[in-house]
Chains A and B, each alone.
Chain A
Amino acid sequence: DTAVSQTPKYLVTQMGNDKSIKCEQNLGHDTMYWYKQDSKKFLKIMFSYNNKELIINETVPNRFSPKSPDKAHLNLHINSLELGDSAVYFCASSPLAAGRMEQYFGPGTRLTVT
């Protein structure tokens, strides 16, 4: 009965590789997000999708490409990985309703680029 799930939990890869992280939510929410948390725990939004449509893209390099096959899934594909991409990536979802802006987070994917 996990609300927001991500796979994999850990990802170790070499520079230059391409990798994907998957996210699924079973909360019936319309909006999903990707966040990056750096080594100092700072959380920054990367993307937001509403009903499969991209609505926020926060100056993220175009090596990062989100894809939403349906409103319950939001995947993140990263091309040509760089050392600076090492971080924890969180997926989140939120209902799109008046007074309901809270977001529910997945457990995170720790990406290590060597």
Chain B
Amino acid sequence: AQSVTQPDIHITVSEGASLELRCNYSYGATPYLFWYVQSPGQGLQLLLKYFSGDTLVQGIKGFEAESKRSQSTFNLRKPSVHWSDAAEYFCAVGLNTGFQKLVFGTGTRLLVSP
């Protein structure tokens, strides 16, 4: 069955430090891959997406992610974290088996320390 795993429930990063959030997925075909961010009390905002082509994709707010199909990973990175990046981050796999459906990971809460 398709699944998305985000191994880290919480991550704390110092402001200005680099960030990497991990995402592993299990899917037989070529999936669409997404990262979303959810600030407290808000809906989900799309950070970036990947389907094909260059394995490094750029997103909004200075985020990027790299797809490594051989490892089934789609890790999210940012070179320098800002306090406003504190939020919940969700990785998702898009399934296109006759209809569109996203399967979400369980999320990683990012805390930013001064």
Contact = CB atoms under 8 A, between A and B. Distances in A.
Interface stretch (A14-22, A63-71, A75-83, A103-111): A103-111
Contacts of B34: 101-102
Given A90-B43, A104-B46, A56 B99 contact: yes
Interface string A42-53: 111100101000
Interface string B70-93: 000000000000000000101000
A95 to B, nearest CB: 9
Given A90-B44, A105-B44, A108-B42, A41 B107 contact: yes
A106 B106 contact: no
By size class, the interface of chain A is 20 to 34
A92 B41 CA distance: 16
A42 B90 CA distance: 9
A45 B43 contact: no
B88 A41 contact: yes
User: Chain A contact residues: over half helix, strand or loop, or mixed?
Assistant: strand
Contacts of B107: 41-43
Contact of B46 (A43, A56, A102): A102
A48 B95 CA distance: 13
Interface string B44-85: 111001010000000000000000000000000000000000
Nearest to B99: A55
B2 interface: no
Interface of B: 32, 34, 36, 38, 41-46, 49, 51, 88, 90, 94, 96, 99-102, 104, 106-107
Interface of A: 4, 31, 40-45, 48, 50, 55-56, 90, 92, 94, 96, 99, 101-108
Given A44-B104, A104-B46, 4 more contacts: A4-B43, A40-B106, A102-B32, A108-B43
